[in-house]
Amino acid sequence: MLPDDSQITLLLHRWTEGDAEALGQLLPVLYEPLRRLAHQRIRGEADALSLDTTGLVHEAYLKLANSPASSLRDRHHFLALASRVMRNVLVDHARARTAEKRGGGVGAVEFRENLWVSEINLDAVQALDQALTELEALDPRQSAILEQHYFGGLALDDIAGAMSVSVRTIKRDLRAARAWLASQLAPEAS
């Protein structure tokens, strides 16, 4: 029998207070949602990044397990954190691959609802990461919304729950963040 949200929240609180066993108990419960998040990010041509769904979930888990636990309110908040960790894992893999290849300029990235990491070149992943880092400095909430929605695959109501704001606010911030990001990633006019 799967634990309900209150039991998951209790395990999250135990983990953030230093109970390493709690994370071990959380993994089986949250493994399938984490696999869905990972699969959304790398479906299609997963070998373009030499990382499959299971590999991404396991690398994200290892990073979570080996990092200091932060304060997590609930399952939504944990999945938001996991989406950030998955973004970092994917960007690290892209950097490692482009370091091997060296050469070629950064191509333009079209940021759309169905953007999958496997559809863009590895240099573009780095350009996207840089733009998201710049947005984070300007507006941390908008950056987090983009990250959770596109890298984490979270639904808007899940993001709203994790951030303790309304879905309407999430939609408004997402529109603004998309517009800003599109302006940053647009090819420069010659």
Q: Compare 21 and 68 and report the one with higher pLDDT.
A: 21
Beta strands, E only, 80-176: none
The model carries a pTM of 0.57
pLDDT digits (tens, 9 = 90+) for 145-164: 988 887 767 789 988 988 88
pLDDT at 186 over 90: no
The pLDDT assigned to 188 comes to: 57
Provide, rounded to the nearest whole percent, the portion of the chain with pLDDT above 90: 13
Q: How many helices (H) and strands (E) does the chain have?
A: 8, 0
* Burial status of residue 1 (CB atoms within 10 A of its CB: 0-12, 13-18, 19 or more): exposed
pLDDT at 39 over 70: yes
CA distances from 179 to 110, 111, 112, 185 (A): 11, 10, 11, 10
| Domain parsing of the chain, residue ranges | 5-102+110-185
Least confident of 85-89, 101-105, 174-178: 101-105
Confidence class for position 96, pLDDT limits 50, 70, 90 = confident
Compute the distance between CA of residue 66 and CA of residue 139 in angstroms, rounded to an integer: 28
